[in-house]
Structure 1
Amino acid sequence: MSRRNEDFDELCDPENPQIIKYEDILEAAKRIKNFIAPTPCLPSHYQRESGINIYYKLETIQRTGSFKERGAINALQLLPRDNQKIGVVVASLGNHAMGICYYGQKLEIPITVIMPTCVAVIKLQLCQNLGAKVIVQGNNLVDAQKYARAYAKDKGLSYIKRDYPNILCGYGTVAIEILEQIPCVDAVLVPVGSGGLVASVATVIKHLKPECLVYGVQSERLPTFFKSLEAGEPVTLPYEPSIAEGIAMPYVGVNAFYNVKDKLDKLLLVKEDWIARAILHLVENERFVVEGAGACPLAVIIGNLVPELKTKNVVCICSGGNIDAVLLGRSLDRGLAAEGRLIKFKVLIKDFASAYEELMKLLAAVGCNVIRQFQDRIWVENEIYRVEIKVVCETRGLKHSLELKRLIERAYPEACSFETEPFNDDKTCPCYAKCK
């Protein structure tokens, strides 16, 4: 970034990054304690199966559903009173803006939120419900941020970005609580998007308990932070949608990157399917509703990507719970498919009622529940008297699915194929690690 660039931000300058200190985070903790109560750090029901003593730091129960509140209230309180009266501008896809809006309303600070066209409607509405002025501008978050800076300059408002030092210091209070609640913690797993949370957590952990491991977790769909660590400097990647939408960032925070690059023990990438499985597990077994980003730490455990943490005390930061109903439904279905509990296959049968009956009896005999089926008589090549049946079945798990697969293949040799992830080698989950 050049100083000649009209979009230059002196608080996010790669040539002069703002380094946060533990003492700054400690002051932030004192500042926000009257607004934010410590969130619980609860033991998992998955400890015996995983061999890891897992604890969930539930930032999902914050008033706006994510850890972003911590940075928001710290930054707003540190604004001069005159600036508070004039107002604040933020650019966000949701969680950052909602935290700013909520505490802006509490402190009677006018808030303007710039959101790109790809923002979830529910998050836009929540910001409006919290009294903010919402402007939809730009195709992505980078465009929205550029517009927000120009808007703030034109209107004389204060611009607050998620990578600013006061925001990062607020985030770091999560780690202070973790060490107070689980003093014997051996490792902390942190979702990584632009990097603010992991940078502030690592700053606290490595200051107070250097032997404690800090692992970052990111979806391989958009591994911006991972690529930045490889390059040794912040890089920008083309945006890709992800089930972990809260950390699907095409760029990294300049301050976050330079604060954490020498403190992070490992950065792990996970496939989308493993994130879906983690969301499913948290709903079914822990009774927590967690968004994709917040489920990433558990995803590496479910995928057995961290065997070195067996028998260790590990805290997974569930960073947020703001997942809309449609995406939650899709995530649960995808998790079921990834676990082999939803099976999709197609089979050619004679176009007679007796043939349908035979197929349904086979499925009933093995104890499968038919969720959906589709009959194709038209686009069946070289087959005029047979129909292709596409079926989605619910099973009890991968073992049960394999039983179904063997049964169908015996009954319809060379006339069936399974299009489901547990049986496809190219759908397995590769994982990557970036050691410091």
Structure 2
Amino acid sequence: MELNLNKIKQAKKNIESVARKTPLFYSSTFSKVSGYEVYLKCEDKQKTGSFKLRGAYNKIVSLSEEERNKGVIASSAGNHAQGVAYGATAFGIKSTIVMPNTAPQAKVKATKGYGAEVVQFGEVYDECYGKALELQEKTGATFVHPFNDVDVMAGQGTIALEILEELPDADAILVPIGGGGLISGIATAAKSINPDIKIIGIQPNIIASTKASLEKGEIVTVPGAKSLADGISVKTPGDKTFEYIKKYVDEVVTVSEDEIAYGIFQLMERGKLVAEGAGASTIAALLANKINIKGKKVVSVISGGNIDIAMISKIISRELILLKRRIRFTVELKDRVGEFEDVMGNIVSVGGNIVKVRQDTNWNEKGLDFASVTFEIELQTEEQGNELMNILKNKGYNIKSDSL
């Protein structure tokens, strides 16, 4: 079967009773920072928290009664798992999902919550894919591929239909790439409607299998490194998706793990959106100046928002430290009334928020009249931290900056 605009339009009809039409909105913040006219297509607001519901549900709709009776099986880092589980349960079909051992627990729990039996195996998608095929042979269940399937690609392509209905003059769409199902569907639909629109794929540079395959002119497998963008950590692109990528995708660029983390942080702080690594990769590319289409209307597909709360906490702490908005310093205080209060007052005066305070109870070489107190504080800008250090030093305090 060939993927084409008609098939994608039919997929839209197939899923319209289940899939949400997700928001597309202009971001003045990211437009100002990047120099583009930036629009965010928020698939993190989709049911199950990801675009994957579209393709999975469209595939399940197309199954025969015999196939449905045998159940379905899939392998996934998490988002496709939830889409398949949701769709299967809606049709009263048994579903088994093989997920990596490294899959975020939020995704594992959600998949079970949608009614699937979850088997965890391997470190990345490709390893659990092999396990799923083993189980398929034993059970006879229908395998629902996360990307290398025309019905799945057609479901994902409905995103492009929604984008161009609202923003027909869009100049480019930025799309995360893992196995290629999302970008194949979006590129096929968008290019069929507007051949001049640019489709740019984004991959983590530590597992950029599609970019490597395009450069060689054939599908290649790259070593399996686990990216913060776990949803697009795929060692080998699909053979079906690769054909559409070669035909319709204009460029594939890569982003580093630091850039992905910064994208997640910026989407939270400036965009008020919670995105997983794959979902933030498109904004990461914009903020890192990886896209050369200045002055154009750019749609950034935020493909999903399924990220562990613990990971969010790590990213926030890390980015605050890197941006020097969380600092730690030790100040030597005389043991007299008002010294501690004075330092606290100066921290507050520059807009600082005290996170931790610790007094060193060890012997101070200057004697019992002195104590070292360590402060860990959060600020809104690096400049506030510099201002605080200058204030304290000008008052004669002995300050030592500590690394976090």
Is TM (by shorter chain) over 0.5? Answer: yes
The answer to whether residue 316 in structure 2 is matched with residue 332 in structure 1 is yes
- 1:171 paired with 2:156, answer yes
Moved more, 69-78 or 233-242: 233-242
2:61 corresponds to 1:77: yes
Q: Distance in 1 between matches of 2:265 and 2:103?
A: 24
Partner of 1:201: 186
Residue 271 in 1 paired to residue 222 in 2?
Answer: no
Cα deviation for residue 98 of structure 1 reads 0.6
Q: Are 1:141 and 2:125 counterparts? A: yes
The residue aligned with 1:132 is: 116
Q: Which moved more, 1:358-367 or 1:189-198?
A: 358-367
Amino acid at match of 1:157: A
Q: CA deviation at 1:147?
A: 1.5
Q: CA deviation at 1:362?
A: 5.7
Structure 1 pair 307–155 and aligned structure 2 pair: CA distance change class (3 A): closer
In 2, Cα distance between equivalents of 1:413 and 1:231: 61
Match of 1:215 among 200, 210, 213: 200
Q: Which amino acid aligns with 1:235?
A: T
Taking a change above 3 Å as real, the CA distance of residues 226 and 85 of structure 1, as seen in their structure-2 partners, is: same
Native 8 Å contact 1:274 1:338 kept in 2: no
Shift in alpha-carbon separation, 1:363–1:35, aligned structure 2, 3 A: closer
- The residue number in structure 2 matching 1:291 is 276
Letter of the aligned partner of 2:274 in structure 1?
Answer: V
Where do residues 58-137 of structure 1 align in structure 2 (5 Å cutoff)?
58-137=42-121
Q: How many Å separate the matches in 2 of 1:388 and 1:161?
A: 60
- Amino-acid identity (%): 30
Shift of 1:56: 1.5
2:222 counterpart of 1:236:
yes
Question: Once the two structures are superposed, what CA deviation does each residue of 1:70-105 show, in whole Å capped at 9, x if it has no partner?
Answer: 110111111121011111111112110110111111
Q: Do the aligned partners of 1:279 and 1:335 also contact (CA within 8 Å) in 2? A: no
1:181 matched residue in structure 2: 166
TM (norm. structure 1) is: 0.79
* Cα distance in structure 1, aligned partners of 2:232 and 2:358: 36
Distance 1:206 1:341, change over 3 A: same
Partner residue of 2:21 out of 27, 35, 38: 38
Amino acid at match of 1:252: P
Equivalent in the alignment of 2:6: 23
Q: Secondary structure at the match of 2:304?
A: coil
In 2: Cα distance, 1:338 partner to 1:19 partner:
48
Q: In the TM superposition, what are the counterparts of 1:310-321 in structure 2 within 5 Å?
A: 310=295, 312-321=296-305
Partner of 1:425: none
What residue ranges of structure 2 are gaps of 5+ in the alignment?
A: none
Residue 130 to residue 402, structure 1, CA distance change in 2 (3 Å) = same
What secondary structure is seen at the aligned counterpart in 2 of 1:64? helix
Note if contact 1:115-1:141 (Cα within 8 Å) is conserved in structure 2.
Answer: yes
Amino acid in structure 2 at the alignment position of 1:22: L
Query: How far, CA to CA, are the matches of 1:196 and 1:119 in structure 2?
Result: 20
Distance in 1, Cα, partners of 2:298 & 2:268 = 20
- Provide the C-alpha distance between the structure 1 equivalents of 2:366 and 2:208, rounded to a whole number of angstroms: 48
Match of 1:259 among 244, 251, 256: 244
The Cα of 1:176 is off from its aligned counterpart by 1.4
Aligned length: 397
Q: 2:106 and 2:170 mapped to 1: Cα distance?
A: 36
* Letter in structure 2 aligned against 1:30: K
Cα deviation for residue 415 of structure 1 reads: 7.5
Alignment of 1:308-387 (within 5 A): 308-310=293-295, 312-342=296-326, 344-347=327-330, 353=335, 363-364=347-348, 366-373=350-357
Runs (5+) with no aligned partner, structure 1:
1-17, 421-436
Do 2:204 and 2:255's aligned partners in 1 also have CA atoms closer than 8 Å? Answer: yes
Alpha-carbon distance, 1:48 to partner: 4.1
* Aligned counterpart for 1:158 among listed residues 116, 126, 142: 142
Corresponding residue for residue 9 of structure 1 = none
Structure 1: distance between partners of 2:244 and 2:353: 52
Asked if 2 retains the 8 angstrom alpha-carbon contact of 1:277 and 1:336, the reply is no
